Every structure is written in structure tokens, then in C-alpha cells.
Structure 1
């Protein structure tokens, strides 16, 4: 039976097995492949996860302390503990205004930032797997801009009849259509290269930016421009408790589905031919994952606007720490993504305080140089070929 399989498929299967085993056997000197990179940090998985969880906790605590009003660390911990346990576990010797600031403003903001970061990180890792391209990501491929444009269309024509659901649905539709168009353009001629995929995403982003500007300029609503600025720059300044349920549910369901499909995502790393030989319906699976990631991106863009580069940067860091096996990498990328956006939001609030920067500016300042480095590395690995 094995002899009837194409030789290339059998070779790819061997590559896949090597990739899945590499998380246990790789050394720090190993050179990871762009997508199927082996673990090179040399950290045991449990230690890496504990480290990521600790970083997330510390950044979350800093998010409760820092802002236009500084809250001392003991006070922030006391308010948090009393809120978690629903009583005065720690005697409240601080001013009551601290309770209001932390519980009504900063806790929902930190939670929302964490949810958005975890969702973008997991979505970025999944997109990179299904297109087998380390340069892919929600912002690079124009998916986040597509979701924002969908939301702007609803605001432009006042189609908010179903409230927030309409906004979520339009953002999802915009993200899905954008992802489908970019993938279709990149596969023109039957072969998709990293450069072609990135160029298709950049072109689509330009078209969407122009369309969004046209919608704003032709709108009779003088306040639309200010609202659109929120979508294009992103941030968590409008975080409220009532905004948290839907993105939380979306993250839990979405990440759960990704974990269920983690083995199939691993199969895609060895190539379509090998995955098909192992029984995976690549076309249908890829379509399903496109819909899932578009839905997740649509939800987070609807609540936070466009926050770029999270889904590009974080997966690369996580693969360096824990390897490319999605069964391990997806939980880690959620923790790392949450830490990244909470840290970016913290920087946005404090860099030029009391003025608050959009979070999207912070992530772009970090992500832009990182993307340039990835492009140069990809060109070097391919001998300068696109």
C-alpha cells in the first residue's frame, strides 16, 4: 500500500514526523523552518508555559496600577482580591475611588486587551499554518482592514438595527471576503509564493483603505470620521464589562476548535499532497479554518478596532519557545498574545501620559521592523528568490 503513494508524499510524511518529534529533540543550534520550526529555546514545555503565565500576570497587574491615576501595588492587589472573592478579604484601608477605577475601568480593559491579543495570536498562527507562509497574518493579509471596512459600511448607512450583532456580522463578512480574495489572487497560476501572498494582502489593504476613506468623505454624518479613526488605529479605551461576553465566548469556542484540529494543522505543515495522502480533505479543511479565523477577527475588530502585527509576531516567538506542534503552540500563543496586547496597551497609556496613544501605533512600531526582518530572512533562505 505504501508503495502506491507518490514518492514526494512519502518524503513529506517523513518530514512531518521529524517536525512533530523535533519539539523533544531539537537543540538551541537547530535552524527552524519558517513554519515547521523546531524548538530552539531549550525550555521544557511546562516551564515555558509557567513563564508565559507569569509574564501575563505581572503585565495584568501593571495594567491595574498604571494610568492617568497611579494605584499603588498593594492597593491594586487588595482591590483585585476582594473583587475576585466577593468580600473584604483584605481590609480596605484605601480610598473608595480606587475601587471604582480598578473594577469599573481597568479590569475590563485588561481583560479585553488579553482576549483580543489571545484571539489575534491564535488566528495568526492558524492562518500561517493553513497557507504555509510565515509572513501571513491578519494585518499583513488585509483581513483586519476588511473587518474594519465591513464595520464602517454598517456605520456609514446606519444599519445598526440589530445593535452590536450587526456590527459583528458585518466585520466577519468583511474579514471573510478579504481573506478569500487575497488567497484567490495569491494562487493565480496554480502556485502561491510568500511574496505573492504578501503583495496580494498589501494591495487589498490599500483598496480597503481607499474604500473606507471614500465612505467617510461621502457620509452626511460629521462624526463618522472620529469613529472610523477608532477602527483604523485600534485601542481599548472604550472597554466596558458589557463588551466582554461575546469576544470571550468567541475566544473559548475558537481556540477550542483550533485545538481539536491541531493534528490536522500539523499535517498541513508537510504540504497538501502529504496531508491528502494521510486522509485530510485539504480544500474543505482550509475553507473551514478560513471561516473560523475570519469570524474571530471580525469579533475582535468590532470591539477593539484594527490592532496590527499581533498575529504575525507572536506565533514566531511561540514557535521559538515551544516548537511548531499546534497541540502545544496554540495554548502558548494565546498566553503570549494576551501578554503582548496588554503590554502594548500599557505602553500606549504611559509613554506620553496623560495623553493616550492608540494601541495600533505601538504594535505597528514593533511589528513593522519585525516584518522587514522576516522578509529579509525569507529572501536569504530562498537565495534571493521571491
Structure 2
């Protein structure tokens, strides 16, 4: 299969504490020769200062000095590298259970997720939690990296045992493509180079799989959705009659002459022109940033959505979401929040916790109505005005919301419309 070397693959890494994520990413960068010379020199010097033999690969991704000195990584660290076949962005998310919320941030735009498993410990709670979040976020590819195979004597039977453990619980999740790789990030087995010790494994290396994964666009090409971010009214004499509606196309295709409706008002019109910067174009599609003018002078403002007249989203004031609670403080009963949906903000409240998910068993808890950090639950949200919604499975952009605390302006939760 021919790979477009301009293609960008975004992938996230997740696992438990000390599963070797930082070492794995360091090995990936080091063996693919994606390290700048001055970086390599600095990390070689730091490794020697710490008394390590050779280069401590984990230092390539441990970006915060204080946390590095404590031997932990605590934030979502983004790294960029390129091979002759593809460009990559890595979101390295911490393994500590109190930072599970960061995976929601790191994985929300990912094409693939790497789930690390320590070969000695097998599938644990964090493995299930991270896999569940990957499924919830509709990530198309999951690569299960069974790391530290050198500590279980490169045992094929142990590798197969862990595959069995993973498949036992993942059969309950919606997983499109799951692959398993036995590896030792510390030694470099099956990361960039094939392992000579595990010749029983016939699959590709991690880099080979990342370079050849099919990147299917998660952009909905059918349902045209254009959230208006701002109204353009130039003050110059030349353009004094211009009234354009600017934003980014969330999904679908818009063409000059299309019949459209503006929501929530329901007013209809026809697209008169489309501009991308200074250039006038005949059609636009996601994720282009454009401005649209209409044949009719109707009232359109920030937060409105321009859609096709015959293809409109649901307009709801009360709706269900799968919510990941991100805040340190638990949710307060019937507290007021701001819901952010595309370019629209409305006041909202959590009307009801329908059920919480038990990450270990994937059972629904219908009794516990509390929401604390890392909880994932199905909740009913009620807003002061209607929102223009699609389900998250159909449209990542118009199917996602965040909740913001009115008093602190802190993002407290992220939700996927059911």
C-alpha cells in the first residue's frame, strides 16, 4: 500500500504507572533517528549525571524538570516526529489513576491509541479504564503493546495469555481494529527494529504498524454543519455592504447556490458566496475555515449554525451524554454550569445521573448518583436554550460538549452526546 508521506497520524499513549510509556516513546524517537543532536547531547549528559548506563530513553518525554526528578510524568506531553513515510503527533498521557482525565484530552483527536501492558502484571484496572475511554471516544485503531517481555523470558505463552485477558473484557466494547505487539522498549525489541529473541511473533514492529495504518477520516461528509464563530462587517468603504459569517466547517460540504437553514431561528436562504481568506471559492468542506454570505439579509450571530435546509440536526434543550468528570471537586446536586457546544455557550445543569460505569466489570451502577474525578456516567443535561446536536458516533464536533464551572471558569467535564 502506498503511503502519503504528508499524512499526519495522531496517536495517544496510555497505561499504568511504570509500564514504560516514556521509555517506549524515547525508543521510538531514538531508533527512528528523530532526535535533534543537541537534545541527544543534553539527555546523554543528564543520564550520566544520574548514574545511568547509556541513554535514559524516558528523558526524551519527561518534559517537566521537577516531576522528572521525582521520577514521575504528570501532564499530557505532545511530541512530533517524521519518518520518510508519515508525520506523527504523540500525546503521552500519564498512568497515575488520578490523571485518567488527561487521557480524555490527549485522545480526543487521536487516530490511534497505544495501550501499554506490563507483561508481568497483565491486564489491570487502568488497562480497562483506558481501553473504555478509547472506545468511548470512537478511536478507530487500538494497538496493545505488551511491554517488558524481557522480564518474562520473552514467553509466547505469557503473551497469548495477556491477549486472552484483554479480549475477555474488550468484547463488551466497540473496538474496530485491535492489534497486539510483544516488545521490550528498553532493549528495542519490536519497537522500530524486529526482535531476534521473539521470532515466534510474525506481525509488524510498532513503527511499521504506525506507518501503514489506514487513516480513515472521522469527519462526517454527509451532514453539513457550520457553527458561526463571528459575523464579519468590514468598515472599509469598498466592502461596506459585506456581511459574512465566519467559522470552521464541522462536517459536510457547502456550495454556492445551496439552500440552507440558520438554526435555531429556522430562517432559510441561499449561499451567495464562500471565501477562504481573500480567495472566493465555489465549495468548502470540513475542516476548512471560511466565511459565507447569504442571498437574504437575515439575523445570524455567533453560536448559530448554518445547515442544509433538508438535513438538520436535532434541536434539544434536554439530552443525554456520556460524561467524563474531570474536576478535583465532585459535582454538586443541581449546580449551574456553562455548557460549551461548538461556538455556542448556554447555562446548563446536570438534571440526573442515569447510571455510572463500573470500569472493572463494565456493569451499570443505577444507585450511585455522585460524580467524582475520573467517573464516567450517563447523565441528563438541561440547558436554558436549545442546542443543535448530533450523536458523537455520527459527528465528533457537533456531538461533544464541555461543562464549565460558572464561578471558577474551570472545565469540569467532557461529554459525548448519546
TM-score tier by shorter-chain length is under 0.3
Q: Which has the larger radius of gyration?
A: 2
Q: TM-score scaled by structure 1?
A: 0.22
Higher strand share: 2
Q: TM-score scaled by structure 2?
A: 0.21
Higher helix share: 1
Higher relative contact order (CA 8 A, sep 6+): 1
